[in-house]
Amino acid sequence: MPERTPIIAGNWKMHRDHLEAIQLVQKLAYHLGEEDYEGQEIVVCPPFVALRSIQTLIQSDKLPIGLGAQTCHDEDEGAFTGEISAPMLARLDVRYVLCGHSERRAMFGETNEVVNRKLRAVQRHGMRPILCVGESLEQREGGDAVDVVVDQLRGSLDGISIADASELVVAYEPVWAIGTGRNATPQDAQEMCAAIRTEVGELYGAGTAEGLRVQYGGSVKPGNVRDLMGQPDIDGALVGGASLSSEDFALIVGHRRH
């Protein structure tokens, strides 16, 4: 079985201006020890306006922290007032771009088709998408959770090549667990992450599925990260609220030694 390098990413959402962002990453770096960077990837996804500042900080302090963005437009350029393109992000050394976060699906009308176009744009410019999928509470209670997630995967990955799929990270984020303080149980999260891997196996073959990194997201905190990440099919965490505290995010990243 190929080794999967765990990936822990902080999704800051619409929090922190560029000065606060610099402080947050500086404090995070202060709390992290060298061993925290070993054998896992650490990523921060600040708002667009802080990307340049964080890029400079990462470079000048030689921090082994990857830069991520929270979304992008699917066209490379054009008359799309207010939008940010994938090549603009690539120029800022952005390595990962969240695609199809549930807030974007719910509030900004992102369908699987839109998410699919964004994935392509991200990959066209040499970055890696973190494809977010997840069911609502109603869908879970109706017993449809796996079907919903499989549907999101199929729709979002339509026409994506094996080569591109092997670069992908998938984040399983049940909508009812996001920002609610109510995380999925490690068993439920494991079950869905295994189902995601199985589906990617159906689409792209066992090799791609075994190499796929699947994150869990939704109220990940210092107190629950270890049990979640201890599951065989969970290879990382996508952290919202707790990534805004340098102490908490450092505890999450450092869960192996706490």
Rule CB under 6 A: say whether 174 interacts with ligand PGA: no
Name the residue whose CB lies closest to ligand PGA: 240
Annotated active-site residue 110? The verdict is no
State the virtual CA torsion across 69, 72, 78, 79 in degrees, nearest 10.
-110
Between CA 131 and CA 149 the distance in angstroms is: 11
Query: Is the CB of 210 or the CB of 227 nearer to ligand PGA?
Result: 227
At residue 128, φ and ψ (nearest 5 deg) are -110, 130
State the virtual CA torsion across 156, 161, 166, 167 in degrees, nearest 10.
-70
How many Cβ atoms sit within 10 Å of the Cβ of residue 39?
10
User: Quick one: which of 79, 171, 62, 80 has its CA closest to 119?
Assistant: 171
Query: Is the CB of 16 or the CB of 209 nearer to ligand PGA?
Result: 16
Pick the catalytic residue: 41, 73, 101, 110? 101
Which of 240, 250, 252, 253 is close enough to bind ligand PGA by CB under 6 A? 240
Please give the residues from 7 up to 66 whose contact with ligand PGA meets the rule CB under 6 A.
Answer: 11
Taking CB under 6 A as the rule, which mask of x and - marks residues 175-214 in contact with ligand PGA? ---xx-----------------------------------
How distant, in Å, are the alpha carbons of 81, 145, 210, 225 from that of 191?
Answer: 41, 11, 15, 16
Q: Is 3 exposed, middle or buried (0-12, 13-18, 19+ CB in 10 A)?
A: exposed
DSSP-derived pairing of the beta strands 213-217 and 236-239: parallel
Annotated active-site residue 15? The verdict is no
How many Cβ atoms sit within 10 Å of the Cβ of residue 1?
6
**How many residues sit in the footprint of ligand PGA (CB under 6 A)?**
13
Pick the catalytic residue: 41, 110, 135, 173? 173
Closest separation in Å from C-beta 142 to ligand PGA: 22
User: Looking at 36-44, 115-123, 199-207, 237-245, which segment touches ligand PGA (CB under 6 A)?
Assistant: 237-245
Closest separation in Å from C-beta 216 to ligand PGA: 10
Closest separation in Å from C-beta 183 to ligand PGA: 8
User: Looking at 69-77, 149-157, 206-214, 218-226, which segment touches ligand PGA (CB under 6 A)?
Assistant: 218-226
Which of 43, 239, 250, 253 is close enough to bind ligand PGA by CB under 6 A? 239
Query: Is the CB of 23 or the CB of 180 nearer to ligand PGA?
Result: 180
Rule CB under 6 A: say whether 164 interacts with ligand PGA: no
H or E stretch at 45 = strand 41-45
Between CA 133 and CA 198 the distance in angstroms is: 15
Rule CB under 6 A: say whether 173 interacts with ligand PGA: yes
Rule CB under 6 A: say whether 219 interacts with ligand PGA: yes
Tokens 């965490």 identify what position? Answer: 237
Alpha helix segments (H runs only) across 79-111: 86-90, 102-107
Which residues participate in catalysis according to the annotation?
Answer: 101, 173
| Contact residues: ligand PGA, CB under 6 A | 11, 173, 178-179, 217-220, 238-242
